[in-house]
């Protein structure tokens, strides 16, 4: 007689609640325009430093979370993350206009909270759903993408026919919005953490066996040290870095880029361009980012993780390379933001599932934490690189003779970052084509492989 266990779909509900709160970091572009204006007057690079520090800390703390889950349990690990995330935003309110204070509060403390809570739903979900790893990792992180939509829409002003909304930023100001968000995060992450519980030891879904997976064979069980000694891990790490660099760069700069591009190519006023750029991020990118996590996860359960990763990264590279040109027109900005968001969502769904496929389910929390450091590197390099190129063009913009020349100089500053990000994705797709499953006896880097042992396929 099978042991009575919790309904595993409650894990999905809890995961979505938690991830929607964590996804507020993707709403950062809603704040950047306000932070570059008085009383803050931050540079474009400074706004991206805060964002990038948060992403880097987020990635670093996923490693700690993987280990901490074993000691505290997934419920308490997620709760601790929620408390730190809330504390970071509340401290940002207390620090007011301090750039250093905001780096510490949102970048370090808030980023640590996201990292501790983020990996919990993924690790717990894979254990409850070994039969649907792609779908469940997509669902588990979909809330992160949809959360960006929610927090951007709440923060920004918008109208849709007879419906109009005055955003929280206009009503209360940046600092007070940080306080409001922090309190909301505390309540809802603690609520979602209630269902972050591992299944009983040895439990499997009725009628399922490891051999029945359609996405590829189940991975051998690797400890983190063994995994780090495989070339497959480092190939996946490079692929993840490239995909994260492109997606996180666009998240960080889409509002600033959209304003420059629409003014230069479509002749719009700054106010009109700002509204459309906010819509591109807050609606099109955010919605399709969430949809992409579910869609790519489901696709990968059918065609396999390797094929899905390769296809997704190739499409992302092509779209990012053209976005610099298409983003200067309303349709191009909206469609490009949707496509980049869709593929970037796939990045966050496919790599955790691939970690389980290649290195086993048992240690997926710890192992994915190590792979997720690639996300942190991409999150640091991509946004700061783009912000630096934009700031470097400031002298050219200020020295331009006419307004049209100024707009053209501002737009030109964005071209190189998009080329770098697009090419990086194409390189990652090429790597995906040669990726193979590791074998514990032959995969570690070190002494030559003993004769008679077959190479990894």
Structure tokens at 240: 């993840």
Give the model's pLDDT for residue 441: 61
Residue 443 has pLDDT above 50, yes or no: no
8 Å CB contact between 128 and 211? no
Tallying the residues shown for the chain, one arrives at: 457
Give the model's pLDDT for residue 149: 82
Q: Is the pTM of this model over 0.75?
A: yes
With a pLDDT cut of 90, the percent of the chain lying above it is 50
96-105, 217-226, 229-238, 271-280: least confidently modelled range:
217-226
124-138, 290-304, 409-423, 438-452: least confidently modelled range:
438-452
Instruction: Convert the pLDDT of each residue in 341-385 to its tens digit.
Output: 999 999 989 999 999 899 988 888 889 989 999 988 998 888 888
Specify if 102 maps to a domain: yes
Specify if 142 maps to a domain: yes
8 Å CB contact between 69 and 123? yes
Specify if 365 maps to a domain: yes
Give the model's pLDDT for residue 217: 52
Q: Give, as one character, the DSSP assignment of residue 96.
A: T
**CATH code at position 253:** 1.20.1250.20
Average pLDDT over residues 236-242: 97
Q: Calculate the average pLDDT of the chain.
A: 87
Domain region containing 122: 9-200+223-433
**Environment class of 227 (CB within 10 Å of its CB; exposed 0-12, middle 13-18, buried 19+):** buried
Instruction: Convert the pLDDT of each residue in 270-304 to its tens digit.
Output: 889 988 998 898 789 888 988 999 999 999 989 99
Say how many domains are in the chain: 1
Cα–Cα distances (Å) from 93 to 37, 42, 48, 269, in that order, read 17, 16, 19, 32
Average pLDDT over residues 118-134: 87
Specify if 84 maps to a domain: yes
- Residues linked to residue 444 through DSSP beta bridges, in sequence order: 230
Residue 213 has pLDDT above 80, yes or no: no
Instruction: Convert the pLDDT of each residue in 66-109 to its tens digit.
Output: 889 888 999 999 999 999 999 999 999 999 899 999 999 999 99
Sign of the C-alpha dihedral computed for residues 41, 82, 368 and 17 taken in this order: negative
Specify if 438 maps to a domain: no
Specify if 276 maps to a domain: yes
The most distant pair of C-alpha atoms in the chain lies apart, rounded to whole Å, by 82
- Residue, of 444 and 268, whose pLDDT is higher: 268
Nearest to 19 by CA among 107, 91, 115: 115
- The whole-angstrom separation of Cα 159 and Cα 157 is 7
Specify if 453 maps to a domain: no
Give the model's pLDDT for residue 118: 92
First-to-last C-alpha distance (Å) of the chain: 40
Specify if 205 maps to a domain: no
């Amino acid at each position: 007689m099978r042991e009575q266990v919790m309904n595993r779909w409650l894990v999905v509900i809890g995961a979505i609640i938690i991830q929607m709160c964590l996804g507020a970091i993707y709403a950062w572009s809603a704040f950047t325009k306000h932070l570059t204006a008085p009383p803050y007057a931050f540079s474009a690079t400074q706004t991206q430093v805060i964002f990038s520090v948060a992403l880097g800390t987020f990635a670093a703390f996923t490693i700690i979370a993987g280990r901490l889950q074993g000691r505290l349990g997934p419920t308490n690990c997620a709760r601790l993350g929620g408390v730190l995330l809330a504390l970071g935003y509340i401290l940002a309110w207390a620090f007011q206009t301090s750039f250093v204070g905001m780096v510490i509060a949102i970048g370090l403390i808030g980023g640590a909270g996201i990292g501790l809570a983020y990996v919990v739903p993924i690790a717990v979900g894979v254990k409850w759903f070994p039969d649907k790893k792609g779908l469940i990792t997509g669902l588990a992180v979909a809330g992160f993408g949809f959360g960006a939509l929610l927090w951007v829409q709440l923060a920004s002003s918008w109208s849709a026919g007879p419906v109009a909304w005055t955003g929280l930023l206009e009503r209360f100001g940046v600092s007070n919005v940080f306080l409001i968000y922090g309190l909301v995060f505390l309540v809802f992450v603690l609520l979602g953490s209630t269902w972050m519980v591992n299944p009983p030891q040895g439990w499997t879904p009725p009628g399922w066996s490891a051999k029945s997976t359609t996405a590829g064979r189940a991975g051998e069980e690797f400890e983190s040290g063994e995994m780090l000694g495989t070339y497959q891990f480092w190939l996946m790490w490079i692929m993840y870095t490239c995909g994260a660099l492109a997606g996180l760069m666009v998240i960080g700069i889409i509002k600033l880029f959209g304003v420059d591009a629409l003014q230069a190519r479509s002749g719009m006023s700054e106010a009109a361009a700002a509204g459309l750029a906010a819509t591109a991020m807050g609606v099109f990118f955010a919605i399709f980012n969430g949809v992409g996590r579910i869609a790519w996860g489901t696709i990968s359960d059918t065609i396999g993780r390797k094929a899905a990763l390769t296809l997704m990264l190739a499409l992302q590279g092509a779209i990012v390379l053209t976005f610099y040109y298409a983003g200067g027109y309303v349709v191009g900005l909206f469609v490009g933001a949707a496509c980049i968001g869709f593929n970037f969502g796939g990045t966050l769904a496919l790599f955790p599932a691939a970690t389980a496929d290649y290195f086993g389910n048992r240690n997926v929390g710890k192992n994915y934490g190590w792979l997720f450091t690639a996300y942190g590197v991409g999150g640091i390099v991509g946004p700061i690189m783009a912000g630096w190129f934009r700031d470097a063009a400031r002298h050219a913009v200020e020295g331009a003779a006419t307004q049209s020349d100024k707009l053209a100089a501002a737009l030109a500053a964005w071209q190189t970052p998009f080329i770098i990000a697009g090419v990086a994705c194409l390189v990652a797709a090429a790597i995906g084509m040669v990726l193979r499953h590791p074998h514990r006896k032959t995969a570690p880097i070190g002494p030559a492989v003993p004769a008679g042992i077959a190479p990894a396929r």
